[in-house]
Amino acid sequence: MAVETVNRQLKIKKVGKIEVAKMKTEHRLLKWIFMAGAILVPLFGFGQARDVPLLFPLAWGAGQFIFPLDCQLGKTCFVANYMDDDPAPERVKDWSCGSITYDGHNGTDYAIEGWEAMDQGVDVLAADAGVVIEAIDGYYDRCRRSCPYENSNHVIIRHKNGLRTVYHHMKKGSVLVKRGQEVTKGQKIGEVGSSGDSDAPHLHFIVTDSEINLINPYAGPCSSNKSESYWENQEPYQGGTFKVVKALLTDQIPDGSTPKPVSTLHPRDPIVTLWLRVLNVQAGDISEWLWYTPQGELYSRCKVVHDRPYAYSYWYCYTTLAGYPGATKFGAWTVHYLHNGTIVEKATFDLEP
């Protein structure tokens, strides 16, 4: 009988988490840095989203930001969490009245395609022209749940209208700007990493006003910003239909990177895994993995009932081969992945002596 092991979700802790958080962050900011002019700038914060009055002309405040990454949203980078716009404890609501966020989340998380994409380099761009008021680099950038929150390579930019944008978790050695430097809109300021309190490569993007009140740059029916979008071109809401971004067979237990694919295995190999990176898992969705021998016999099965929504996540099931009856049936094995009872992915591997 095969050993069945199920699920693994890609998640980013605290400042950026690709799962719905359980712990309440309350009305606290985790760290402050004193800046010139008696301005306190929060590097890391879990402030409750709230309505913020416009303290500047709307022509300046609306429609000024470009997307802060050099990637294709929905193809090579993905929204992991929006800002939480529900001030009530233990409740969440993103700008489009969905739940692609977690309690108290103070910005937007943009995830990239794993560690290999980080190694290749994904550029972080200044969302608008301004002056750099903080630039920190040099911290370890391959954190997986184990690094202090304050060890985030990051940049803070003050814009002409007093708005501030914050760019967190950047790659070590990638920060290209320094304090006091003027930057132009779209200028590369660094690369995506996983420094600080992070589980996987992503950008945590925060917007505040001059008084350090959180601002949601997305305008929508449930946004604390109910007027005009702060984006030049606001991207469509990323929630919606379930989608498999990538799927492959491997002989590894994945760790967040895209694992090495395999097509041939042997009975002595310890495991075989079907790994998937997916979008828009909803609470109550059911994922199943079915493993079939070359004779069409069901060999192993995994099942997960998802207890919460996941905007961007990876999941896998592995089964063992060595020493189990049926594992010496040589030929082409088949694995089916089912989402809510429908086969959405198939994979095969050859089992050889």
- Is residue 42 pLDDT above 90, yes or no? no
User: In the predicted model, what is the mean pLDDT of residues 135-151?
Assistant: 92
Residues 194 and 259 in one domain: no
Q: Are residues 308 and 173 in the same domain?
A: no
For 78-90, how does the pLDDT look when each residue is reduced to its tens digit (9 = 90+)? 999 999 999 888 8
Q: Are residues 278 and 191 in the same domain?
A: no
Q: Is 16's pLDDT higher than 70?
A: no
Is the domain of 43 the same as that of 175?
Answer: yes
Asked if residue 77 has pLDDT above 70, the reply is yes
Q: Are residues 92 and 141 in the same domain?
A: yes
Q: For residue range 80-132, list pLDDT tens digits in order.
A: 999 999 988 888 999 999 888 888 999 999 999 888 899 999 999 999 999 99
**One domain, residues 255 and 160:** no
Share of the chain above pLDDT 70, in %: 81
234 assigned to some structural domain? no
- Work out whether the CA dihedral 196, 197, 201, 203 comes out positive or negative: negative
176 lies in the same domain as 264 = no
Q: Return the pLDDT at 311.
A: 86
Q: 137: part of which helix (H) or strand (E)?
A: none
Q: What is the CATH number of the domain that holds 132?
A: 2.70.70.10
**Residues 311, 181 within the same domain:** no
**Summary count for the chain: helices (H), strands (E):** 2, 20
Question: For 153-195, what is each residue's pLDDT tens digit?
Answer: 999 999 988 999 999 999 999 999 999 999 999 999 999 999 9
Domain co-membership, 152 together with 244: no
133 and 189 housed in the same domain: yes
* Residue 269: predicted pLDDT: 86
> Is 198 domain-assigned?
yes
For the domain that residue 252 is a member of, what is the CATH number?
2.60.40.2550
Evaluate whether residue 222 is within a structural domain.
Answer: no
Q: Is the pLDDT of residue 198 over 80?
A: yes
For 333, the domain range is 240-351
User: Does 111 lie in the same domain as 153?
Assistant: yes
Please check whether residue 122 lies inside any domain of the structure.
yes
Which segments of the chain are extended strands (E)? 4-6, 28-35, 39-46, 77-81, 108-112, 123-125, 130-136, 154-158, 164-168, 182-183, 188-191, 202-208, 243-250, 264-265, 271-281, 286-292, 298-305, 310-320, 331-339, 342-351
**200 and 112 inside one domain:** yes
User: Nearest to residue 154, comparing CAs of 172, 131, 180?
Assistant: 172
Average pLDDT, the chain: 81
Measure the CA–CA gap between 21 and 117, rounded to whole angstroms. Answer: 26
* Total structural domains within the chain: 2
Residue 275: pLDDT over 70? yes
